[in-house]
Structure 1
C-alpha cells in the first residue's frame, strides 16, 4: 500500500524514530499507526513516550484558586510575543478567575462573563483578537475540588503570578492543617510538573494501555529465548517497573528520591496532623499536542517517501 508523507511525519513526531524506519514500520503494519509504534518499540528503535519536540503552541496556562477548589485554563496565541503582552496576560488571569465559578468545562467557561469586560469569555477573546491582531483560543480547562482539605497549585516557567508554561493542580483531602497540606500539595504539584505521571494509582491506568505494554514486554522477552514460565516472571517485573515510572503514588518523590510519593504523603501527615489523601491531579503543559507547520521537514519526509 502507499504510505503518505503525512503519516510518516505523524509517526516520527510520535516516536522520534528516523524517517526510513517510520516508513518501514508503516509498510510492515499496513499503515496502522498504533501498530507501527509497537513495531518500532519491539525493534528497539523507539519508546512510546519519546517525543520529537515538534509539537508546540504559544500562549499561557492560567490558574485561579478558591477555598476548596482551583481551576486551570490554557489560552493559546500564535506567538510568544503576544504571550508576553500585558493585555493578553490580564485576559488569561480574568478567564481563570471566571472559570473558578463554573463547572470547569470549556463551553461553561466560554459562556462565563468576565468582570473586566462585562462580556462573555468567548466575546472577550474575539475582541482581544481584533485589538491585538493575532488569533487566540481557549483550548482547555481543568477544575479540581475537595470536600475537606485543599487544592494545591504550581506554575512552572511563571511570567506572572498564576501564569506560566506548565500548570498543575493537586487535590489533598484532609481534616488536618490546611496550610501544611497546601505546602506538601505544592511539592507534589512540582513533582507532577517534572515527571508527568499518567495516573494517580495503578487502578487508574487505562487497562488497554497496560495490556499493550504487557504484550510488548512479552514479545521483547521472547526474543531472549527464555522459556514461557520465565518470560511470565520477566513481564511481571517489567510491569512493576512500568507502574513505578508512570503512577504518581509509586514514583520516587523528586523532593526526596529515597521515598515514593505515597511514602512522602505518610511522612507529611505528621505535619498536617491528620490522615491525608491525594484525591486527584491535573497537569497542563502549554501547547502539548498542537503541532506547528514545519515546511522544510515536510519536504524532507516527502522526499523520503518517494525514495
Structure 2
C-alpha cells in the first residue's frame, strides 16, 4: 500500500467523521431548541404571561420551569403593586357581578375594572371567581358558630384582608391581575347569606358571560330569600323572583297588605309582578303558597348611598 493511498484514506475518514459530528451537533441543537420551545409554550399557557417574559424567565433559570414560574409571579406581583399605586384614583365603573349558590348558602360580589374589554378577559373573570370562593370560605368559617338566617355585607378593607386559597391576601390577588392587564381594579362589595334547611335561595344574573358554570357572571345580579312554594317548583319560582328584582329594582320589601302606589313603587311586594302583570308580587306569592323574606340586588358600577354622601 503506497503512502499516497494511505494518506487519502485517512483524510477521507477524518472528513467523514467531522461531517458526522457536525450533523449530529445540528440534530442535537434542534432537539434542544425544540425542548426550549415546548417549555416556553407550556410556561406561556400555564401562566398567561408574555412570550418575552417567559423566555427571559427560562433563560434566567436554565429552563427550570418551576423556578421560572415562581419568578414570573413575583415580578408580576411587584409590577402589579406598582401599577396599582399609579392607577389608583382612575375610575373603575365596568366589571362583573359574580354569583354562586352552594348548599344553603350564597355569595354575590362586584369586581370593577376600567373597561368592558378587560371585563371580558379570562384573567379578570378568573379574579371574580377566585374572589367569590374566597368570600364563600370566609362565610362558612363564620357560619360554624351561627344558626338560622345569616346575612353579611362586606366592603373596603374587610374585603382586602381576606385570604385566597393560595394564602395570599385578596388585595395581593387584585394587584397581580392589575399587573397582568394594566387597568385599575377593585373588589367593591360582597354579600353572603346562609339559610335554614326549610328556606330557599332564588337568583338571577342578567347579561351573563357565556362559558361560566361554577360562578355565574354578568352586569346585574340578585338573590331572593323565600319560604314555601310548591314542591318541585322552587327553582323556577326563585328565578322568576330574581328576574323581577333585577328588572324592577325594588328598594325595600314592603308588607303583603300594602297597596300599590303607581309606577314609582319601590317596595317589592306591591310592585306589579314582571312575569304576570295582572297581579302584584304579593298576590303572585300567595297563589304559590310562598313568602319572600329578603332580597339583594347588585348593578355593576352603580353609585352606592355612602358614595353619594
What is the match of residue 40 of structure 1?
none
Q: Determine if contact 1:243/1:250 at 8 Å carries over to the other structure.
A: no
Give the 3-state SS of the residue equivalent to 1:248 in structure 2. coil
Pair 1:286 & 2:300 matched = yes
Aligned residues between the structures: 194
Which one of 109, 118, 126 corresponds to residue 82 of structure 1? 118
Give the 3-state SS of the residue equivalent to 1:241 in structure 2. coil
What is the match of residue 9 of structure 2?
none
Q: Determine if contact 2:92/2:115 at 8 Å carries over to the other structure.
A: no
Give the 3-state SS of the residue equivalent to 1:102 in structure 2. helix
What is the match of residue 213 of structure 1?
none
What is the match of residue 155 of structure 1?
205
Q: Determine if contact 1:197/1:247 at 8 Å carries over to the other structure.
A: yes
What is the match of residue 67 of structure 1?
103
TM-score under structure 1 length normalisation: 0.58
Q: How does 1:190-201 map to 2 (within 5 A)?
A: 190-201=243-254
Separation (CA, whole Å) in 2 of partners of 1:266 and 1:80: 41
Pair 1:136 & 2:185 matched = yes
Separation (CA, whole Å) in 2 of partners of 1:56 and 1:240: 37
Q: Determine if contact 1:74/1:139 at 8 Å carries over to the other structure.
A: yes
The Cα of 1:172 is off from its aligned counterpart by: 1.3
Unaligned runs of 5+ in 2: 1-90, 140-151, 305-309
Unaligned runs of 5+ in 1: 1-54, 206-238, 270-275, 291-307
Q: Determine if contact 1:244/1:250 at 8 Å carries over to the other structure.
A: no
Pair 1:101 & 2:149 matched = no
Q: Determine if contact 1:98/1:109 at 8 Å carries over to the other structure.
A: no
Which one of 218, 234, 257 corresponds to residue 164 of structure 1? 218
Q: Determine if contact 2:92/2:114 at 8 Å carries over to the other structure.
A: no
Pair 1:189 & 2:234 matched = no
Pair 1:261 & 2:275 matched = no
Q: Determine if contact 1:56/1:289 at 8 Å carries over to the other structure.
A: no
Question: Cα deviations across residues 191-215 of structure 1 (Å, max 9, x unaligned)?
Answer: 0111001101159x9xxxxxxxxxx
TM-score under structure 2 length normalisation: 0.57
Q: For CA contacts below 8 A with separation 6 or more, give which structure has more relative contact order.
A: 1
Question: Cα deviations across residues 9-33 of structure 1 (Å, max 9, x unaligned)?
Answer: xxxxxxxxxxxxxxxxxxxxxxxxx
What is the match of residue 85 of structure 2?
none
Q: Determine if contact 1:244/1:251 at 8 Å carries over to the other structure.
A: no
> Which range moved further: 260-269 or 87-96?
260-269
Which one of 247, 263, 286 corresponds to residue 267 of structure 2? 247
The Cα of 1:83 is off from its aligned counterpart by: 0.2
What is the match of residue 121 of structure 1?
170
CA RMSD of aligned residues (A): 2.6
